[in-house]
């Protein structure tokens, strides 16, 4: 029997100096290619995608914004309680546990700016449907202005996607789009 020192097989070098087995090299190339494709997708989406982020904001208090919403509702509210926003007019929405106030009525294919603020806690503001990419986090003491151009008539839900308390799952608003 030959001893270990007499063996013709050289010991493996330690650490990264050793050559990776074929299956590990293949896996590494798959990971590198996947990361490159995901990075290219994200860069393209950010550069050419339809992002709808707040275009303006200002500091306000919950009381001041609530008064602004009340004046807006008083001026444009219909008998059904919905607020019909004239084209070119800014709309105001207040998020408070567990509601969005008021429900808005907008015209299709008309550009609006909606100002949103919170009266009490962090809330989310996400429109479900309507080909809109609006997903905001709304904080007290700040008003956020987001531009929206609804395309198709219908009723769209506004959901709170930031946990705000035990009734969070019931926090819904509506945007009605008419021709």
Encode pLDDT of 62-90 as tens digits. 999 999 999 999 999 999 989 999 998 99
Q: Is the backbone peptide bond immediately before 101 cis, with ω within 30 degrees of 0?
A: no
**Could you tell me if 23 and 67 lie in one domain?**
no
Q: What percent of the chain has pLDDT over 90?
A: 63
Q: What percent of the chain has pLDDT over 70?
A: 87
**Could you tell me if 31 and 115 lie in one domain?**
no
Asked if 178 contacts 153 with a C-beta cutoff of 8 angstroms, the reply is yes
Residue 22 lies in a domain: yes
**Could you tell me if 107 and 29 lie in one domain?**
no
Q: Which domain holds residue 31?
A: 17-48
Count the domains in the chain.
2
Q: What is the DSSP string of 23-83?
A: HHHHHHHHHHHHHHHHHHHHHHHHHHS-----SEEEE--HHHHHHHHHHHHHHHB-TTS-E
Cβ-Cβ contacts under 8 Å for 162 (sequence gap 6 or more) = 122, 123, 124, 137, 138
What CATH number should be reported for the domain holding residue 124?
2.60.40.420
- Bigger pLDDT: 19 vs 52: 19
144, β-bridge pairs: 57, 116
This prediction has a pTM of: 0.71
Residue 2 lies in a domain: no
């Amino acid at each position: 029997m030959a001893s270990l020192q007499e063996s013709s097989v050289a010991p493996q070098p330690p650490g990264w100096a050793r050559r990776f087995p074929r299956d590990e090299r293949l896996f590494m190339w798959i990971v590198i290619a996947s990361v490159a494709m995901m990075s290219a997708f994200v860069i393209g989406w950010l550069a050419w995608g339809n992002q709808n982020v707040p275009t303006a904001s200002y500091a306000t208090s919950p009381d001041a914004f609530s008064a602004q919403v009340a004046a807006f509702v008083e001026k444009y509210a219909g008998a059904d309680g919905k607020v019909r926003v004239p084209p070119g007019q800014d709309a105001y929405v207040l998020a408070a546990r567990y509601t969005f106030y008021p429900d808005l009525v907008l015209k299709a294919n008309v550009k609006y700016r909606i100002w949103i603020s919170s009266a009490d806690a962090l809330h989310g503001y996400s429109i479900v449907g309507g080909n809109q990419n609006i997903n905001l986090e709304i904080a007290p003491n700040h008003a956020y202005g987001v531009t929206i151009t609804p395309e198709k008539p219908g009723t769209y839900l506004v959901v709170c996607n930031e946990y705000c308390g035990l009734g969070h799952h019931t926090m819904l608003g509506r945007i009605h789009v008419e021709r």
